[in-house]
Structure 1
Amino acid sequence: MSKIEEEKSKEDAKADMKSVLQQQFCFDKNWILQLNQQKDIHDIICLICKQVANNPMEINCTQHENMDESLIVGENCLKQFLSQNPNSCPVEPHDNCLYSQGRLAKRYISELDVICPRQFEQEQEQELQMTTQQGHGEGETPGLVSCDFKGKVKQVNDHLENSCCLQMVKCWFDSFGCNHTCSKSVIHDHLTSNMKLHFDLVVKSFDTLQQTIRLYQ
């Protein structure tokens, strides 16, 4: 792979990672609950979206000093709320909401054990398909690649960017016209089985370039 292709692949990986982790402002609690108990996340649920708070913020308004429950919101959820409700508060309506970063909560969340979020999404899609098919066909889909990652929340970004076998990548010959995308683990199978196609695309691109050069001579 050339240096340009390698850099492009890294950019695609980062974009893919962002789409997985940031499609919700906070972490899907069903994903977190794959390896944790309900009691483990009771105090880190975002007040706004009811998911596990991502980059948790603590509401510190004096109006809520007597409340016993944890007043935690995800940073992005809070930003969106305040942009739509200026000078208000997500706990109850009042002016001048006070908040600060929940460092302890953030550290706690970062240490939670999780599976690969892409693997979780894949399993969710499988369950949906099985439900839609009303029980026709049992077991895992043949040929489906699985990611066996289990680690901490704080390790997920690195996993998604560098080692996840479910990472979607474009064909190395994308710039020549091959629009194929597949998981990182099977890209070499695609390259091997489509050598003639890719060769023809390169030749066609080269011929087009030659014709363009002749026009300007």
Structure 2
Amino acid sequence: MLALNAKEEEKKIEIKKEVFLVCGCFNKDWISLTNEQQKFDTLICCLCNRIANSAMELQCDEHENAEHVYLVGEECLQTYLKQNNGKCPIGQHEHCDFSKNKMARQQVSDLLVICPRQYDLNIYLQSNGGRKSGEKEEYGKCNCNYKGKIKEMKDHLNNSCNLMPIQQNNLLNIQSELGAMRQQIRQLKENDDEQKRQIQQLNVITFFFKKKKKKFNFNFLSG
């Protein structure tokens, strides 16, 4: 029994843990909570207008004299090139040339942020989540006060954060509700089967009573 409980606890821990694999660019609203805008104004992805994650710099000859550097998040750039036959997002010319911008990557990595799960939770409670009865109080009992650099966020989320993603939490709630509904369906089916069995028994009894009554009437008339 103890071993079973231990396994259940391990499963709960695994559910709460999340491998932090941030590929897309970062939300500016999240970043701006703990950083002045001028600190990240030059770190914007020119495709999605968010903070460039794993920043790539476009270095095509066609815009080498541009007044500013064209930064693009690595995932945004890969997706764009795949969907546009390798054409550069600036000017739509062939043979897009790009390389890693180490300075921009370092600047983004050093940006100070709050826990992204706490940010998602705050947004959720301010929108539709807070409308549900009791949900705001339930979520309000848990919070994460972590504040650190983006480059440290993976370790925090995987090892020390006590919050789980809103989507995952909602999924667990849905699974719990579905489980309760399945139990109710099974109970109704069992009740229905029991009612059918009782009806069948009554039909058998009724049949024998009718047969007995018919025999009695026949004997009475014969006598």
Partner of 1:141: 136
Cα displacement (A) at 1:166: 0.7
2:44 and 2:72 in contact (8 A); partners too: yes
Residue number among 18, 21, 43 corresponding to 1:14 in the alignment = 18
The one-letter amino acid of 1:151's match is G
Structure with higher Rg: it is 2
2:16 and 2:164 in contact (8 A); partners too: no
Q: How has the CA–CA distance of structure 1 residues 72 and 164 changed in structure 2, closer, same or farther, with 3 Å as cutoff? A: same
The one-letter amino acid of 1:75's match is E
Matched, 1:49 2:48: yes
2:57 and 2:72 in contact (8 A); partners too: yes
* TM, length-normalised to structure 2: 0.64
Structure 2 gaps, min length 5: 177-223
| Higher helix content, 1 or 2 | 2
Q: How has the CA–CA distance of structure 1 residues 8 and 117 changed in structure 2, closer, same or farther, with 3 Å as cutoff? A: same
The one-letter amino acid of 1:77's match is C
1:44 and 1:70 in contact (8 A); partners too: no
Partner of 1:215: none
Cα displacement (A) at 1:12: 6.1
Q: What is the aligned length?
A: 163
Structure 1 gaps, min length 5: 181-217
Q: How do 1:25-36 residues align onto structure 2 when only pairs under 5 Å count?
A: 25-36=24-35
**In the aligned structure 1, how far is the partner of 2:8 from the partner of 2:82?**
40
Partner of 2:113: 114
Partner of 2:85: 86
**In the aligned structure 1, how far is the partner of 2:86 from the partner of 2:62?**
14
Residue number among 157, 160, 163 corresponding to 1:160 in the alignment = 157
Using the TM superposition, name which of 114-123 and 3-12 deviates more: 3-12
Cα displacement (A) at 1:127: 1.8
Partner of 1:193: none
Q: How has the CA–CA distance of structure 1 residues 146 and 14 changed in structure 2, closer, same or farther, with 3 Å as cutoff? A: closer
**In the aligned structure 2, how far is the partner of 1:159 from the partner of 1:104?**
24
Partner of 2:74: 75
Cα displacement (A) at 1:69: 1.9
**In the aligned structure 2, how far is the partner of 1:54 from the partner of 1:148?**
24
What SS does the corresponding residue of 2:158 show, helix, strand or coil? Answer: helix
Q: How has the CA–CA distance of structure 1 residues 102 and 3 changed in structure 2, closer, same or farther, with 3 Å as cutoff? A: farther
Share of identical aligned residues, percent? 35
Cα displacement (A) at 1:147: 0.7
What SS does the corresponding residue of 1:141 show, helix, strand or coil? Answer: helix
* TM, length-normalised to structure 1: 0.65
**In the aligned structure 2, how far is the partner of 1:2 from the partner of 1:142?**
29
